Amino acid sequence: MLQFFTTAMRAPARHLTFRRAAALHVLLVACLGWGAAHADTPERLAAVGQIALVLGVIEGASLVGWRLAQIPKSQALEFLLVSQLRPPGVFLAEALVGVGRFALVSLAGLPVLLVMVLQGLIIPADLWPLGFMPFLWGVVTALGLTVWAYEPVPVRRVGEVVALLGVLFYLVVGILAGEKLQLWISGLPPDVGEWVFNAVMRVFQENPFGVARNWFLLRDGPGPQWPGFVAVNLIGAAVGLVFAARAASRLKGHFHDRHYKPLESTRPDQSAGIGERPLSWWAVRRVMEYSGRVNVYLAGGFCLLYSAFIVAGDHWPDWMGRAPFLIFELWGGPPMVAASMCVLAAVPAAFQFGLWDPTVADRCKRLELLLLTDLSAGDYWHASRAAAWRRGRDYFWIACIVWVALAVSGRAHWYQSLAAAAGGVALWAFSFAVGFRAFSTGTQAGGTASMLTLGFPLLLFALLQADLEPVAAFVPTAACYLPVRSGITWAWAAGFATLIAATVVVARRGLAGCDANLRKWLDANQGRRAE
């Protein structure tokens, strides 16, 4: 076990990744502190707590889950699997290394939280939901994603059906029924109706986000909220242990499925879809191995209902719930929801390095083959663009639904919605240009990509809370947010033009030096010890 930690601490690449992750975490927590300082209502402070939980989940998935999911892709793992080390022990050791690094990153934000306590923004007990709970549920999420990646295809298909049923339950009961749930179940026998109502309320209240919301919304001390906090986190810890045990038992089987499972002669012929750009076909096929349809259905289903609520306005039926939509109105409303969808669409565009190969050794083997062909920089560009757009395009179309609803309802002019859509395209293009530049130079720009997808939205939020909208207009995320929030202003136009210019410059440099940079990177890394 100690050898795994020693190797992890000696790897220079991991040192750099850790320092960048810690610095980004401190910056994000500082932005949350700024938001807490300007939170004039308990609802806004509760939103800060829930955003902190979201950040913990994302950081855990990227620092722990992504690493664990990539391990079976390397054939070098076979040497460990045939050694005296048992496969479950190998997984648990790697998992503990990732969790330890995530813990250090989380602790890097503790000084900022302590400053918030000293300034009276939060009380000492708030360190539990702001510090501990995001870490715990980040680990649970990471292990859950790892289990999902390790499971056989038939199991994942069944799990996807179950998840879709859960999404349908959430949309119907949690969104459409909402606070009108008692009216919906009034036709049931009294005992059955009461049981159903209490069960649904427990599901929607006794979860991490419900606990975070109630903790800050009901500011009557931590005492009343403490039992729910302890219960939810004990359940989370138990679920995490189950996930860890399942993933440990599936490591060897998943490795064999990836590398030694025979190809079936009955599988459908896919050669017709390759066309004249085989690299693009392969890139799209690679990123769609785990399609993420459940997330798309959840986001799309909610935004469809939210758009209907926006268009209906005062004519929204009385027997349907309003409270879930009013919560999002408090958080920023349709502009925030549409901008969030644009950010999700830009995530695959920003994280380009992992598109091709997860490790330096695998990337070297891939480039040894590709650089012997007649592929040009344009081919790499097209393949990266096709894969990134295929992975993220659904979220952009979901954002378009919200913009159309704003225009139809009269809450925004049609040209404001059109400007926001143009800003969304510009944000995606800028994220892709930065991501492609990182791919061509071989830079593991996880910190830069995280800044694009997490840091900039929080920076925009902090600047707007400080009434610095002219400055906020130059944050890339503002291109798709401000037109439907504040209207089209000269500051937004200047920020939009700057974003377009920066995109052109970065894209031209990435294309111009792509082939040379790839060859330079291969020469520098070929034969280097894996880190």
Look at residue 67 in the predicted model and tell me its pLDDT: 85
Residues 322, 396 share a domain: yes
Look at residue 465 in the predicted model and tell me its pLDDT: 79
Q: Residue 451 and residue 476: Cα distance in Å, rounded?
A: 11
Helical pair 323-331 and 293-312, crossing angle rounded to 10 deg? 100
268 within a domain of the structure (yes/no): no
* 274-307 residue pLDDT tens: 777 888 888 888 888 777 888 999 999 999 999 9
Among 258, 292, 311, residue at a domain's last position: 258
Among 334, 485, 487, CA closest to 398: 334
270 within a domain of the structure (yes/no): no
Among 258, 293, 323, residue at a domain's last position: 258
263 within a domain of the structure (yes/no): no
Q: Show the domain range for 192.
A: 1-258
Q: Residue 240 and residue 59: Cα distance in Å, rounded?
A: 16
> Is the pLDDT at 263 greater than 70, yes or no?
no
> Is the pLDDT at 150 greater than 90, yes or no?
yes
Look at residue 531 in the predicted model and tell me its pLDDT: 46
146 within a domain of the structure (yes/no): yes
Helical pair 226-259 and 133-150, crossing angle rounded to 10 deg? 30
Averaged over 380-387, what is the pLDDT? 92
- Mean predicted lDDT score pLDDT of the chain: 88
235 within a domain of the structure (yes/no): yes
Residues 447, 384 share a domain: yes
* 51-82 residue pLDDT tens: 899 999 989 998 899 889 988 887 778 777 77
Residues 209, 147 share a domain: yes
* 4-42 residue pLDDT tens: 666 666 666 667 778 888 988 998 899 888 888 877 788
Q: Mind giving me the DSSP string for 25-53?
A: HHHHHHHHHHHHHT--SHHHHHHHHHHHH
Number of domains in the chain: 2
Q: Residue 531 and residue 405: Cα distance in Å, rounded?
A: 49
